């Protein structure tokens, strides 16, 4: 059965810290891996990583896909309180399979 696992489940840091969120997967027919941020209701798209694009960066956020290790990390540098959210990793096969998410809390 296809599976996506995220760690840690929860993370509490102070503003300015750097965090690394992990996502590992066991799926057949891997097409892409996506990261989403969910603050209140609707998850918002962060990155999509495929075999042809294994590293993405946007401002303080960056993500790397390791196809050999079947995993991805999401890095957030110089965290701010506005980064507090649930971060979701999802793998696209013939459908989108989500991990349970990592809840990040950033305190001033």
CB 30 to other proteins: min, Å = 12
SS3 at position 81: helix
- CB closer to other proteins out of 45 and 68: 45
Instruction: State the Cα–Cα distance between residues 2 and 105, nearest whole angstrom.
Output: 29
Instruction: State the Cα–Cα distance between residues 90 and 18, nearest whole angstrom.
Output: 22
Q: Of 47, 73, 48, give the one whose Cα is nearest residue 59.
A: 47
**Binding residue (CB under 8 A) for other proteins from 28, 41, 58, 82:** 41
**Binding residue (CB under 8 A) for other proteins from 10, 44, 77, 80:** 44
**Binding residue (CB under 8 A) for other proteins from 11, 13, 27, 97:** 97
**Binding residue (CB under 8 A) for other proteins from 54, 64, 75, 98:** 98
């Amino acid at each position: 059965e296809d599976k996506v696992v995220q760690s840690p489940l929860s993370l509490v840091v102070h503003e300015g810290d750097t965090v690394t969120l992990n996502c590992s997967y066991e799926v057949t027919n891997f097409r892409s891996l996506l990261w989403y941020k969910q603050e209140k209701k609707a998850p918002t798209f962060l990155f999509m990583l495929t075999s042809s694009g294994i590293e993405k960066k946007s401002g303080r956020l960056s993500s790397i896909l390791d196809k050999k290790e079947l995993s991805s990390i999401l890095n957030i540098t110089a965290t701010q309180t506005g980064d507090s959210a649930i971060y979701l990793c999802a793998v696209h096969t013939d459908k989108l399979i989500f991990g349970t998410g990592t809840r990040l809390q950033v305190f001033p």
